């Protein structure tokens, strides 16, 4: 450990898991870099970081780009760091499987008092190890149902970019990692240093943890009612919420909501929600080993046989056929 790292006001260990996503890794690291030095020399003065892995060499990202792993747990003293930032795998299944490989390191870091930060699907790794028990967690909106069914006792902080809960911090991933880095750095370095470099990164401003993504609306005409309804549909896939109740949550009647959906999608609200659910099952069949009964629970189908029937009607093949094709 060099003296610069020892004298830094806040110190990070960065742990990219196999097939980690480059965007949150690069965004988080670059925010540290801009805040670390008085100028743009990338010197680790005010904050410091070290990339670590189980073995020296390289770890390959989900885009196929490898990054170098210069240090292993044997090369570092965990007590000299404040945060261990884990960048999750491309899929939840991969992240869960990595728990057996990285469990010793993560548990040791927690025991040493480091704050554990899960980025993207790393929340599945920590949850699998029991390291999120009694903590709130933010999950990427695409994986909320998957996470809640795998770990029903854990409380999800829904509709948040990140969640800071004492010694556990979670981030939904993507560019939200930049916002999280700003929030953490502001605690240690103050707001001025925390936002330093955002203009260089072509970021207008840091977003709060409760920021609502406009891009999730997926509506060219910026229909706020549809945007809110679609977000609720994605979050409530497993519930028995009716379309009428959904409409009420967005301040519309059932008839008005259907009118909005038919105008933009040529589908009723019920038909659109069914499509969201079936697309979720399609993706999960290809990216998990969960049985159809579990997937039916995730999307609010009481009967897996009925789900199989509806799925075949929509995709012209059964769930089993799709899964077998995906393994070829």
Report whether 268 contacts 258 (CB < 8 A). Answer: yes
Instruction: Count Cβ atoms within 10 A of the Cβ of residue 323 and give its class: 0-12 exposed, 13-18 middle, 19 or more buried.
Output: middle
As beta bridge partners, residue 49 has 12
d(CA 180, CA 39): 22
- How many angstroms from the chain centroid is the CA of residue 184? 17
What class does CATH assign to 214-326?
mainly alpha
- Please give the full DSSP string across 130-183, using - where no structure is assigned: TTTTTSEE---GGGHHHHHHH-TTSEE-TT-SEEEETTEEEE--TTHHHHHHHH
Nearest by Cα to 136 from 92, 174, 167, 96: 167
Quick one: CA torsion of 196, 199, 205, 207, rounded to 10 degrees? Answer: -70
Q: What residue has token string 């949550």?
A: 249
Per-residue pLDDT of the chain (328 residues; tens, 9 = 90+): 444 555 789 999 999 999 999 999 999 999 999 999 887 778 899 999 999 999 999 999 999 999 999 999 999 999 999 999 999 999 888 999 999 999 999 999 999 999 999 999 999 999 999 999 999 999 998 888 889 888 999 999 977 899 999 999 999 999 999 999 999 999 999 999 999 998 888 888 888 777 766 665 554 446 778 888 888 888 888 888 999 999 999 889 999 999 999 988 899 999 999 999 999 899 888 878 888 988 998 898 988 999 999 999 999 999 999 998 876 4
Element holding 298 (H helix, E strand): helix 292-298
Domain 3-195 annotated CATH 3.40.640.10? no
Task: Give the start-to-end residue ranges of the domains of the chain.
Answer: 3-195, 214-326
b/e map 111-123, b = 16+ CB within 10 Å: eeebbbbbbbbbb
φ, ψ dihedrals at 224, nearest 5°: -65, -30
φ, ψ dihedrals at 127, nearest 5°: -65, -40
pLDDT tens string 181-218: 999 999 999 999 999 998 888 888 888 777 766 665 55
Q: What residue has token string 């299944």?
A: 93
Quick one: CA torsion of 135, 141, 142, 144, rounded to 10 degrees? Answer: 40
Quick one: CA torsion of 278, 227, 172, 180, rounded to 10 degrees? Answer: 170
């Amino acid at each position: 450990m060099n003296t610069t790292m020892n004298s830094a006001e806040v110190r990070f260990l960065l742990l990219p898991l196999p097939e980690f996503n480059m965007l949150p890794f690069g965004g988080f690291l670059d925010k540290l870099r801009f805040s670390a030095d008085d100028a743009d020399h990338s010197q680790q003065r005010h904050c410091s970081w070290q990339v670590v892995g189980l073995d020296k060499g390289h770890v390959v990202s989900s885009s196929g780009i490898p990054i170098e792993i210069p240090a292993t747990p044997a090369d570092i003293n965990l007590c000299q760091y404040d945060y261990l930032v884990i960048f999750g795998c491309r899929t939840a299944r991969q992240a869960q499987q990595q728990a057996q490989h990285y469990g010793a390191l993560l548990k040791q870091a927690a025991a040493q008092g480091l704050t554990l930060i899960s980025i993207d699907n790393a929340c599945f790794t920590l949850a699998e190890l029991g390291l999120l028990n009694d903590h709130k967690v933010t999950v990427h909106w695409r994986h909320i149902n998957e996470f809640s069914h795998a770990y029903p006792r854990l409380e999800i902080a829904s509709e948040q970019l990140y969640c800071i809960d004492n010694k556990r911090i979670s981030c939904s991933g993507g560019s939200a990692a930049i916002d999280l880095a700003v929030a953490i750095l502001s605690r240690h370095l103050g707001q001025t240093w925390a936002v330093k470099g955002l203009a260089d990164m072509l970021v207008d401003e840091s977003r709060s943890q409760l920021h609502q993504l406009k891009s999730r609306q997926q509506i060219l005409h910026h229909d706020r009612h549809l945007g809110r309804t679609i977000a609720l549909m994605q979050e409530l896939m497993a519930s028995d919420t009716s379309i009428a109740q959904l409409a009420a949550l967005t301040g519309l009647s059932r008839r008005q909501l259907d009118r909005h959906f038919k105008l933009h999608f040529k589908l009723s609200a019920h038909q659109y929600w069914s499509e969201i659910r079936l697309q979720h099952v399609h993706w999960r069949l290809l990216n998990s080993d969960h049985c159809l009964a579990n997937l039916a629970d995730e999307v609010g189908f009481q009967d897996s046989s009925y789900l199989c029937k509806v799925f075949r009607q929509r995709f012209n093949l059964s769930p089993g056929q799709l899964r077998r094709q995906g393994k070829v």
